[in-house]
Structure 1
Amino acid sequence: MGNHKLRGKDLKNINYETDKAKSLAIDIMSMHYKHYTKQEKLKVLLDVKNNPEHYLSDPILGVLASEFTCRSLKSKKEVQLLKAPGEFKVFGRKHIADQTYQQMDLAMSLPIAERGALMPDAHMGYGLPIGGVLATRNAVVPYGVGLDIGCRMSLSLFDIAPGYLKRKNYQFKMALKERTCFGSGGVLSIQQDHEILDRKEFTTTPLLRQLHGKAVKQLGTSGSGNHFVEFGEVELVDGHDFGMPLGKYLGLLSHSGSRGLGAGIARHYTGIAREKCLLPNYAQHFAWLNLDTEEGMEYWMAMNLAGDYAKACHDQIHRHLCKYLGIKPVATVENHHNFAWKEKIETGETLVIHRKGATPAGKGVLGIIPGSMTATGYIVRGKGEQSSLSSASHGAGRKMSRAQAKNSYTKSALKKVLSKAGVSLIGGGIDEAPIAYKDLDEVMASQTDLVDVIGRFTPKIVRMDKA
């Protein structure tokens, strides 16, 4: 491994001139590219230097790429941030780390920022915090939406007692193994067909034409990380919205987004935004596009297409599983996060509401706030609270990074937790262990002004990536 270690003279040979660029390069390579050879590392670093615009939105290499773009942008006029950030409403301040709060402060320093809010599950993200809500006037921040555009929750409710799941445990596990697929390289083996693939938007820009093939391959699949498809027990405590008696039912819950389509759109338009909107280096993730520009209108169209594609993926997942098991849902609940909407606020004006990892909670709007792989989640009805911009949390929120979770937990400990909860896990990793997340009940107690609880979902068979 010693031969793979980079030194300053190696970087000087590929024209890394500043100490900061060299230091960043060495740190990034040692932390994230430790299994690469020295030659492979230098190849990556040379490409970042020669083509920094391709890496600006990369979560690992973006900070290094910005070192090579900021110098060339100095001749252009830089956008000035507000001297004092605008105020924003915080729900569950005790659950939120100072760094997350400071990140939202930075968002509210944007000259386009009108209103903001932090949900009790908020934690650090790229650009807008996850759990952050930002209202702007006639402008959209691609990284205020995020890479996984239109990530969403989808719940199918069946008029079947949950005991059926226990009796047919093997069949339900096989359904998840054979009819779901996770990760960037996975493709379902069954025939895929959906009207979303024929949408005319796919022919309107070179980018969307290029991404169409990936959308075809990934239809009906799920992402990695905290994305899941799971069967469990639904307990309705208010059946008004479903026209069903109170009680316990079988449920199917999925969490995933727009896959490679959304990521490709996000990276492309974030790069354009950074070229058009020259923010200080530390704020570049907040670069925006005005919606009356060609690029802004293109992004808005592409974002909405990605959101519809995410819904189509969930529809396919639920359809395939129901067909395999011979069951039919009697009700559904679904909602986006990682999206931007044009919405009227209480003053009557229309703003662009970015919800990065936040659930829409307009008055009477149904949503799902899930727990971890063992924790009970909630079916909710929004109250339309204006101070939160009609939003609520989208989950419990992480309290540990993935690396921290891996370093502080073991597979055997996770197995014990799963066994105690009566949960069967297919795939999944220690980085998604329940210990990595905040207590959802405490998070829910911090947002009683935002939503009413009308049901609960308790996972029993969970499928995630790494199966």
Structure 2
Amino acid sequence: MNGKHISKLGFEKKAIKLALEAAHTREDAGVSSAEILQELQAVQADPAAYLRGGVYADLAAELSTQQGVKRAQQAADLRPSALPYRVWGEDLIDPGAHAQMDVAMRLPVSRAGALMPDAHVGYGLPIGGVLATENAVIPYGVGVDIGCSMMLSVLPVHPDELGTDEARALLMKHTRFGAGVAFEKRDRLDHAVLHEDTWKEQPLLKHLHPKATEQIGTSGSGNHFVEFGTLTLHQPDLDLEAGTYLAVLSHSGSRGFGAQVAGHFTALAQKRWPTLDRAAQKLAWLPLDSHEGQAYWQAMNLAGRYALANHDLIHRRLARALNVTPGAQVSNSHNLAWKQRVNGEELIVHRKGATPAEAGRLGLIPGSMADPGYVVRGRGNAQALDSASHGAGRQLGRKAAANTLAKKDVQAYLKDKGITLIGGGIDEAPQAYKRIQDVMARQDDLIDIVAEFRPRVVRMDTGSEDV
């Protein structure tokens, strides 16, 4: 018996060596070559039956491993073409976002999708992409800033009663921005989310809890903001009379906690599918019924609650400083995954930069630092997977904005709109974004506008070059 006899049976690499060793043992026991070949074929057909021990146990273990790898490779194969999906605002969306969505719709776990009018290129799933999968959660389908969200507080104050200087002073004292930034320990507020038992249920969460505690009630960099402005209700809604109100609008996420959760579980997902097409590696998924999938789901939802807790504390500080109680509050997450029934079956709907817009659900769609934002009510459009845009969406990347926009032009635009800006970089200039009015006009079958918010005093992190 030699290696040629065994390779003819279809054994590969390490299995050939193990099969040959077992064959020699059987030959020494007086078994004929013909019988040994039959035995090898039986092991090859059902390696699990030989795993418990005996001369063929090592070979069976190797064959089982090889079969598992092949099954994983087959499970990770992309579809030859993308499943169909609806697009809103086709004329506003760059080809790169389309290309990313096409790849997402070729995943073997994908079942439905949609592209919102603010869509632009992101990591993995495009920002503005909505993707429904079966028994799978994609960390980069949720995004790095897990739970990134919006909150609006309507205050029982006329907008003219808060001057620009006072608004500026309040934002400087009661908000914090930037990577690694936190309030001084004596100034931190507590929140129930920090005392959840969930933090103790995973070593990663336990490790991240001190940093989350330190950064509670603060905002990150980039496009995160807190701003005072005027909310206009043209008819009674939100349990308020029609009229104009002072309001606070914030955009914030889960800080470094969420980013580290995203990185940790993305690495696990990519390790699980080592043969996944290079174009889809940022879309590696975790089966929801796996240990890793359940761990990510738990951590993701905790990050979502933590992000909303940051908003709670931001708004609580400002309302307390003004000695008022908000008359109404609206909030929503737009970087999260939800279990949702789609075409009669439960799927995992990822919204990466998309607002939940089930029928009757309130949400927030901001513009840029100088342009209006909107309180909206969802219309429950099934083709959009009950979603809408999460903002205006970028038309210039950060580097392109910094390299092409002139500071004087941005400053002139802000002055014309009556905006006082604290921080904020050229990369976040209004001209770097699509016109929010254009985006809203292309999704009137997804949402109804309830109220309009006009920013007046805006605070953001300092950019690479401040405006």
Mapped partners of 2:366, 2:192: distance in 1: 29
Question: Which one of 142, 146, 150 corresponds to residue 145 of structure 1?
Answer: 142
1:77 aligned to 2:73? yes
Instruction: Return the offset for 1:120.
Output: 0.3
* 1:276 correspondence with 2:272: yes
Instruction: Give the match's secondary structure for 1:399.
Output: coil
Question: How many residues get paired?
Answer: 391
Structure 2 unmatched ranges of 5 or more? 1-68
Partner of 1:118: 115
Normalised TM-score (structure 1): 0.82
Which of 162, 169, 172 lines up with 1:177 in the alignment? 172
Is the contact between residue 240 and residue 327 of structure 2 (CA under 8 Å) also seen in structure 1? no
Q: What's the counterpart of residue 334 of structure 1? A: 331
Between the aligned residues of both structures, percent identity stands at 51
Aligned to 2:430: 434
Q: Aligned partner of 1:276: which letter?
A: R
Q: Do structure 1's residue 392 and structure 2's residue 388 form an aligned pair?
A: yes
Residue 439 of structure 2, aligned match among 440, 443, 465: 443
Structure 1 residue 446: Cα displacement: 0.5
The separation in 2 between residues aligned to 1:354 and 1:448, in whole angstroms, is 22
How far, CA to CA, are the matches of 2:124 and 2:410 in structure 1?
32
Structure 1 residue matching 2:245: 3-state secondary structure: strand
Match of 2:198 among 190, 196, 201: 201
1:285 is displaced (CA, Å) by 0.4
Does the 8 Å contact 2:113/2:384 carry over to 1? yes
Question: Contact 2:334–2:390 (CA<8 Å) still a contact in 1?
Answer: yes
Alpha-carbon distance, 1:301 to partner: 0.3
Is 1:243 the counterpart of 2:243? The answer is no
Specify the alignment match of 1:355 in structure 2.
351
Query: Does the CA-based 8 Å contact 1:171-1:325 persist in structure 2?
Result: no
* Equivalence map 1:121-140=2 (5 Å): 121-140=118-137
C-alpha displacement of 1:176: 0.4
CA offsets 1:334-367 (integer angstroms, 9 cap, x no match): 000110000112x321110000000000000000
SS of alignment partner, residue 359 of structure 1: strand
The answer to whether 1:461 aligns with 2:460 is: no
| Counterparts of residues 84-103 of structure 1 (less than 5 Å) | 84-103=81-100
Larger Rg belongs to: 2
> Partners in 2 of 1:199 and 1:244 — Cα distance?
34
Counterpart CA distance in 2 for 1:75 and 1:407 is 48
Structure 1 partner of 2:255: 259
Mark the CA change 1:75 to 1:359 in structure 2 (over 3 Å): closer, same or farther. closer
| Per-residue deviation, 1:411 | 2.2
| Distance in 2 (alpha carbons) for counterparts of 1:118 and 1:282 | 19
1:162 is matched by which residue type in structure 2?
P
Q: Note the aligned Cα RMSD (angstroms).
A: 1.5
Q: Does 2:214 match 1:223? A: no
Moved over 3 A (4+): 73-78
Distance 1:409 1:80 in 2: 43
Q: Counterpart of 1:295?
A: 292
Q: CA deviation at 1:76?
A: 7.5
Whole-Å Cα distance in 1 between the matches of residues 263 and 393 of structure 2? 24
Three-state SS of the structure 1 residue aligned to 2:368 is coil
Q: Are positions 1:234 and 2:243 aligned together?
A: no
Residues of 2 paired with 1:237 and 1:312: CA distance? 30
- Return the alpha-carbon distance in structure 2 between the equivalents of residues 162 and 85 of structure 1: 50
| AA of the residue aligned to 1:234 | L
1:40-82: CA deviations, max 9, x gaps?
A: xxxxxxxxxxxxxxxxxxxxxxxxxxxxxxxxx9998362100
Distance 1:235 1:302 in 2: 37
Secondary structure of the corresponding residue to residue 77 of structure 1: helix
